[in-house]
Structure 1
């Protein structure tokens, strides 16, 4: 029997080798069935057939609705009336087609489909629509003809993101401004992209791009999978955003929600042709019990065609540089992983795993890298399924990275439940570096999840109500001092130990003081908490800029010196009683004193004979510290006895501080 590298790398998987191999073979068989000798890219071509297309002298609509008995185009072109001249013709295999003259439609026209089936009928936004708009008064959605005379001309058509480790700035366009309203693609391009570039991040992750009826869903209840959300602007304005980011050297990835779809029928895929089972599983299997949404049927070839074509659409039409796949755990397991503790390998290789979903991931990741070998594919997954971020050829599912979702959970638990003086530095290092050796992860202290209403950001957990009363520099406060010190240390140790990539949600780097709460009935439809207050990080009277300045120093260090491209993180020393931790990554040594009260003079860190210079530390005046550490010195290790004995690097380690040192060229005396 063929042995896959995934199994060779992990002896504990041998007992499950038959299941792993069968899943791998099933994915290959499905690929062959779909492609019939073509490439996956050629197969994922649905948007070039379905939807609305304009030729030199006519408009052509095509749709797939196998349960439909009739389809009519209704819209501004015919006063929203069902007319025989606008009736689609059945062309076989559940496909429908309507051909109109070039003068019967124009750019900007609103329209919808009127679909009839045995026993019912309904108005629908076309499944393959690439532009949908919402009426400000009625809140109803319509499709819109998007065919400007001048197509968007790319300024940076050949951008490639390079080989640097992704430093991801997780962003939401609508809440990226200070005003209490929805902000636009153009505003993000003009005002936020320069901030991201200056902060040192190299990858922008855009949330909530595909159209979604409810703003407060954070974009996770998608209705139109091929349409960028019109509440932020036009498709061309999104392209301009991505184009300008590429001009700055920034890659742009998007949250891809193929884990489920909104139940809405008029503007979504729910009962599109009168049946649930067109796109989704029927019955309970097709409803997500926690998300009030429908679950795709990944075993259906037409659904695979739809979803894989969607991937190609965003990569080629908008030149996105990859995806962060949302809800991967939900897709992998029939119980969606809800309330389940994954305690052993048996949990990943039993009847609870949806093999049709593992096949989909194989196909999706192969397609992504076939289109763009440099594209990023990141899995939001919490069960820890082995091989998720291992190469397809090794028997993995082909993601480039998986989210290290246990890291923010660890920080929350530690801050909530353990007093500072009892923080175990050995445990901290273990939790931050524990991962499968054959996978890379995106590490993060917190993301948008921790900033949502009902939860708390790290800065809020550390400072709480003092955030509102004591963030001015002329208001001394020990709680705020503690919070700022730990905020910097937590981010530095999380980023410096990251297993390949690091992520931050916009504004969290400077301790944004407001949680995220989108307009809803419960808050009287307020935008107060759906925005980012950039100005407080620029106000030199406030302390927020200290955190932003430190984050900028940290991220530029990682980016400029390719720190996360160095795979090994070596544990050098820890002392649980003193709460001192030291680890090394390449030529960089990081030393942390988590002790809340005790500073140490001449503290010895055991190393080989070497010399070091401090690059930066969390206690610098410019970062809101006390400036207690001398950067002018060159630090040499000293032997404990003779020259061949253990050497120690003796450092002054103030309480609640961390420092980054760089190894210097050193000629040992013999």
Structure 2
């Protein structure tokens, strides 16, 4: 039945003006239900409605219009539960009242946010499907300290210190698209994607609730007890959209697992999967840091992808981009009307190379956003490592800036001390929470101590890409004549143990007119194939872990394209041979402890020979020695003497010129036997047949000593 109300309980004009203009910072003060001596004051804001009634279990109470969609009244009962019946010209809706629920964000959470120390920031900001008082809905929260007002789904939100806006909206379920409408400090309204959205359909954010059940506890336990600096790490770098175009996360999980397993890689590294606007790109222009791209499925589909790779013994590393973000007006840029995530000084806040914005690393809340984001991927998606993009651009204030266009630090130097503090905090926090992950720096500079622990003033990374090795070796192998350029492939050993290195032949080396690895090799088809096989075998024997971008494992001829790899090349015996070699290199690498247990110590490496085009060295560690002999020139040597550290028979465990790899099959018949002839500082030696443009790996037959 319908019961008359006692009075309309109209608020004062100032409160109404603020509410209707969207500038009221505490809409719960006006809207919702408020106990009164005579009953309960109820107000509702329903623009466009002709009438609003309060519906309880037993009664119906009509509210009176105040103005412009605001309705008010005092019902003569104490309300515990109610709904609104809202009448429009074309429909009648039954809706819950968002303003009968006070914000649920706790004081301790707000305190941690204000100090920039909330390690699980994603638990309190963003959109969370939840149930309050038996009512299901979604709790929205966003940090926008400079905003005059914030709305979500056309509903005004409540401001809480330190600038967090909060609202629980009943009835909103997973799949609902939303954006925050923000009245900036400049008086302009902007529609913004949620910085902590868990899913996105750009430019909108999407409410997401996961019900995925992980099956990888054994993998995580093994991972967290592994010392990766002494373990085999062979990484296959993948751009998901162009590896095999058209596959979704679940299809990729099965096909990529099978392929990577057959090739023997220990890990995959994914170019950024956080949501980004342009699908044809590599993904380094991130706009939704907490949302896996929806191009290949849902967030739970991505969890299935990671879980499946773990089930197949494959680790998953993800490229992560804290160095810059794009200027899209619906994303992070000028989020609440003025610089918030970006540094306000363009000399520190704008990137001259990429046209992007740079995070304000001096601001605790911004550092918190980034550190928590790293933890989010490690915790929620079980990612096994983060390769931090463009570290060099973060470390130096003058990066790509001419004199006069950068601001020195307080000591007058060019080092970005705020970025250093951020990176140290990032790595220390990541390893504290997830001791078995790999934090990897893409850094092309000579900054000291990138992989030194933060306790010893290092940046605290676990590994660093060896960009110097990459540039030197690619330059060397691209030369038609190499005998005068040995320093290009030997110089890396002068600093090989200064950091924990990963040797990376990455995506950056197969675009922008550089040509593919195949095209960089000189000569005809046979010479190109032989040189590429030699490069890969030399790389796998060199101290350091390995990373190879997709396509390199079979000699992709063309530069990278968003339209995919030339898989048909595997029908060509030349390319199939390269493919088989990589599988064999990985297999031998994983089973030969000398190739990985002493990667970070000079005790594991000894030069044997550097003469003309021939380079030879031995690797030592736990288990038998491995000797690598590389003849990187066109000369065939029938009897080339090499010192060997042990008497007896040595097996030819890799020969890149083998017929199995479509080489000319020049070699040593599978093994050589030493002579008691001291050479190269060794008590024994052997004469080898060295194929041109070929690399041999030799290992002693332990039970075959003479």
Give the structure 1 partner of residue 44 of structure 2: none
Quick one: distance in 2 between partners of 1:408 and 1:493? 12
Q: Using a 3 Å threshold, how does the CA distance of structure 1 residues 487 and 287 change in structure 2: closer, same or farther?
A: same
Alpha-carbon offset, residue 633 of structure 1? 3.7
Alignment of 1:258-657 (within 5 A): 258-266=322-330, 268-336=331-399, 351-416=413-478, 418-425=479-486, 427-435=487-495, 437-444=497-504, 446-462=505-521, 479-499=524-544, 501-518=545-562, 530-537=563-570, 539=571, 541-562=572-593, 563-567=595-599, 568-577=603-612, 579-586=613-620, 587-596=625-634, 598-611=635-648, 612-639=650-677, 646-657=683-694
Quick one: distance in 1 between partners of 2:329 and 2:352? 18
Alpha-carbon offset, residue 66 of structure 1? 0.9
Alignment of 1:14-33 (within 5 A): none
1:65 has 2:152 as partner? no
Q: Which secondary structure state, in structure 1, belongs to the residue aligned with residue 241 of structure 2?
A: coil
Q: Using a 3 Å threshold, how does the CA distance of structure 1 residues 183 and 498 change in structure 2: closer, same or farther?
A: farther
> Does the CA contact (< 8 Å) of 2:653 and 2:670 recur in 1?
no
Q: Using a 3 Å threshold, how does the CA distance of structure 1 residues 439 and 412 change in structure 2: closer, same or farther?
A: closer
Alpha-carbon offset, residue 258 of structure 1? 0.4
Quick one: distance in 1 between partners of 2:678 and 2:497? 35
Gaps of 5+ in 2: 1-108, 404-408
Q: Using a 3 Å threshold, how does the CA distance of structure 1 residues 646 and 278 change in structure 2: closer, same or farther?
A: closer
Q: Which secondary structure state, in structure 2, belongs to the residue aligned with residue 543 of structure 1?
A: helix
Question: Which deviates more, 370-379 or 603-612?
Answer: 603-612
Quick one: distance in 2 between partners of 1:36 and 1:63? 15
Selected match of 1:44 from 108, 112, 119: 119
Q: Deviations over 1:300-353 (max 9, x none)?
A: 01101111110111111101011000010000011225699xxxxxx9x96110
Alpha-carbon offset, residue 648 of structure 1? 2.1
> Does the CA contact (< 8 Å) of 1:281 and 1:295 recur in 2?
no
Selected match of 1:153 from 199, 213, 218: 213
Give the structure 2 partner of residue 132 of structure 1: 200
CA RMSD of aligned residues (A): 2.7
Q: Which secondary structure state, in structure 1, belongs to the residue aligned with residue 430 of structure 2?
A: helix
Alpha-carbon offset, residue 629 of structure 1? 1.5
Q: Deviations over 1:114-138 (max 9, x none)?
A: 111242111111111111114xxxx
Alpha-carbon offset, residue 572 of structure 1? 3.4
Q: Using a 3 Å threshold, how does the CA distance of structure 1 residues 608 and 323 change in structure 2: closer, same or farther?
A: closer
Q: Which secondary structure state, in structure 1, belongs to the residue aligned with residue 180 of structure 2?
A: strand
> Does the CA contact (< 8 Å) of 2:476 and 2:485 recur in 1?
no
Quick one: distance in 1 between partners of 2:267 and 2:704? 39
Q: Using a 3 Å threshold, how does the CA distance of structure 1 residues 640 and 313 change in structure 2: closer, same or farther?
A: closer
Give the structure 1 partner of residue 283 of structure 2: 219
> Does the CA contact (< 8 Å) of 1:424 and 1:576 recur in 2?
no
Higher relative contact order, structure no. (Cα contacts within 8 Å, ≥ 6 residues apart) = 1
Give the structure 1 partner of residue 54 of structure 2: none
1:92 has 2:161 as partner? yes
Q: Deviations over 1:496-546 (max 9, x none)?
A: 1132x110001111111221244xxxxxxxxxxx31233432x2x442111
Selected match of 1:175 from 235, 239, 242: 242
Q: Which TM-score applies when normalising by structure 1?
A: 0.80
Alpha-carbon offset, residue 560 of structure 1? 2.1
Quick one: distance in 1 between partners of 2:124 and 2:682? 74
Q: Using a 3 Å threshold, how does the CA distance of structure 1 residues 607 and 190 change in structure 2: closer, same or farther?
A: closer
How many residue pairs match? The answer is 570
Selected match of 2:260 from 196, 204, 209: 196
Gaps of 5+ in 1: 1-33, 75-81, 135-140, 341-346, 464-477, 519-529
Q: Which secondary structure state, in structure 1, belongs to the residue aligned with residue 335 of structure 2?
A: coil
Q: Which secondary structure state, in structure 1, belongs to the residue aligned with residue 181 of structure 2?
A: strand
Alpha-carbon offset, residue 155 of structure 1? 1.5
Give the structure 1 partner of residue 31 of structure 2: none
Q: Which runs of 4+ in 1 moved over 4 A?
A: 34-38, 337-340, 666-669
Alpha-carbon offset, residue 582 of structure 1? 1.1
Give the structure 2 partner of residue 119 of structure 1: 187
Quick one: distance in 1 between partners of 2:670 and 2:385? 43
Q: Using a 3 Å threshold, how does the CA distance of structure 1 residues 45 and 424 change in structure 2: closer, same or farther?
A: same
Q: Using a 3 Å threshold, how does the CA distance of structure 1 residues 216 and 280 change in structure 2: closer, same or farther?
A: farther
Alpha-carbon offset, residue 601 of structure 1? 2.1
Q: Using a 3 Å threshold, how does the CA distance of structure 1 residues 506 and 667 change in structure 2: closer, same or farther?
A: closer
Q: Which secondary structure state, in structure 1, belongs to the residue aligned with residue 553 of structure 2?
A: helix
Q: Using a 3 Å threshold, how does the CA distance of structure 1 residues 487 and 282 change in structure 2: closer, same or farther?
A: same
Q: Deviations over 1:628-650 (max 9, x none)?
A: 21334442233269xx9953221
Q: Deviations over 1:330-387 (max 9, x none)?
A: 00011225699xxxxxx9x961101111111111001111111110010000111010
Quick one: distance in 2 between partners of 1:91 and 1:581? 66
> Does the CA contact (< 8 Å) of 2:638 and 2:690 recur in 1?
yes
> Does the CA contact (< 8 Å) of 1:130 and 1:227 recur in 2?
yes
Quick one: distance in 2 between partners of 1:533 and 1:273? 46
In terms of Rg, which structure is larger?
2
1:658 has 2:685 as partner? no
Question: Which deviates more, 289-298 or 89-98?
Answer: 89-98
> Does the CA contact (< 8 Å) of 1:496 and 1:564 recur in 2?
no
Alpha-carbon offset, residue 216 of structure 1? 4.0
Alpha-carbon offset, residue 276 of structure 1? 1.6
> Does the CA contact (< 8 Å) of 1:593 and 1:657 recur in 2?
yes
Q: Using a 3 Å threshold, how does the CA distance of structure 1 residues 243 and 668 change in structure 2: closer, same or farther?
A: closer
Give the structure 1 partner of residue 91 of structure 2: none
Quick one: distance in 1 between partners of 2:262 and 2:112? 47
> Does the CA contact (< 8 Å) of 1:610 and 1:664 recur in 2?
no
Q: Deviations over 1:183-226 (max 9, x none)?
A: 42223212122111111111111112111112344111110111
Q: Deviations over 1:463-502 (max 9, x none)?
A: 6xxxxxxxxxxxxxx7111111110111111221132x11
Q: Deviations over 1:231-264 (max 9, x none)?
A: 1211011100100011011111110100011111
Q: Which secondary structure state, in structure 2, belongs to the residue aligned with residue 261 of structure 1?
A: coil
Alpha-carbon offset, residue 59 of structure 1? 2.0
Q: Using a 3 Å threshold, how does the CA distance of structure 1 residues 171 and 404 change in structure 2: closer, same or farther?
A: same
Q: Deviations over 1:106-161 (max 9, x none)?
A: 22121111111242111111111111114xxxxxx21111126xx00111134233
